[in-house]
């Protein structure tokens, strides 16, 4: 899948940068360490924006393009931060059959946030997830950990209103 570039301003702190540099130091000289570095960088920042990947490129000497190639290849790496309100819609088989794509489309239409991205103010993020194991509630979505089952299109506005 094509990854979407973030439009949210980077809010990294010097502490996070120090943590990241310690991680890179830990792996210095280890061959094939880019994956664990990226994983730990994502643990620190929550996602991998250009600012974070640039630090990694500078510190490791691996080109930014090569790093971005890895980050854009694996679906576990995020280029967008989670929003204050993180919406996850299950796109597992059962939910999909029950119409979760319509749910995603409706949320995108109402919030202007495409799947895999975050609103420019960092408020709402929308992710399509794999099966979350609640097929009995299909189609299912979670918002900041709250679970909503058997979601119907016409209920979405009401649900979202609670988080605005």
Tokens of 132: 């979350």
If one asks whether residue 130 binds other proteins (CB under 8 A), the answer comes out as no
Stretch that binds other proteins, among 2-10, 27-35, 89-97, 101-109 (CB under 8 A): 2-10
Among 45, 47, 68, 77, binds other proteins (CB under 8 A): 68
Task: Give the neighbor-by-neighbor strand order of the sheet with 124-129.
Answer: 117-118, 124-129, 85-90, 141-143, 146-148
With beta carbons less than 8 A apart as the criterion, state whether 150 and 137 touch.
yes
Among 7, 13, 30, 54, binds other proteins (CB under 8 A): 54
Give the integer Cα–Cα distance in Å for 110 and 160: 9
Give the integer Cα–Cα distance in Å for 140 and 163: 17
If one asks whether residue 159 binds other proteins (CB under 8 A), the answer comes out as no
Among 20, 52, 53, 88, binds other proteins (CB under 8 A): 53
**Complex with other proteins: residue 50 or 82, whichever CB lies closer:** 50
Tokens of 146: 């709250």
Give the integer Cα–Cα distance in Å for 5 and 163: 24
Among 23, 38, 52, 67, binds other proteins (CB under 8 A): 67
Question: Minimum Å distance from CB 26 to other proteins?
Answer: 23
If one asks whether residue 28 binds other proteins (CB under 8 A), the answer comes out as no
Stretch that binds other proteins, among 7-15, 62-70, 115-123, 125-133 (CB under 8 A): 62-70
Tokens of 31: 């061959």
Give the integer Cα–Cα distance in Å for 160 and 52: 31
Residues making contact with other proteins (CB under 8 A): 1-3, 5, 50, 53-54, 57-58, 63-69, 72-73
């Amino acid at each position: 899948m094509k990854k979407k570039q973030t439009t949210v301003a980077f809010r990294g702190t010097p502490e996070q940068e120090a943590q990241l540099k310690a991680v890179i130091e830990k792996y210095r000289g280890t061959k094939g360490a880019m994956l664990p570095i990226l994983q730990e960088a994502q643990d620190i920042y929550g996602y991998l924006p250009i600012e974070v990947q640039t630090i990694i490129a500078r510190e490791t000497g691996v080109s930014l393009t090569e790093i971005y190639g890895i980050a854009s290849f694996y679906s576990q790496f995020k280029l967008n931060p989670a929003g204050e309100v993180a919406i996850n819609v299950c796109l597992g088989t059962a939910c999909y059959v029950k119409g979760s794509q319509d749910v995603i489309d409706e949320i995108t239409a109402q919030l202007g946030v495409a799947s895999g991205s975050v609103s420019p103010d960092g408020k709402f993020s929308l992710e399509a997830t794999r099966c979350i194991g609640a097929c009995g509630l299909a189609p299912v979505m979670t918002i900041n950990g709250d679970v909503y089952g058997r979601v119907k299109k016409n209920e979405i506005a009401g649900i979202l209103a609670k988080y605005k």
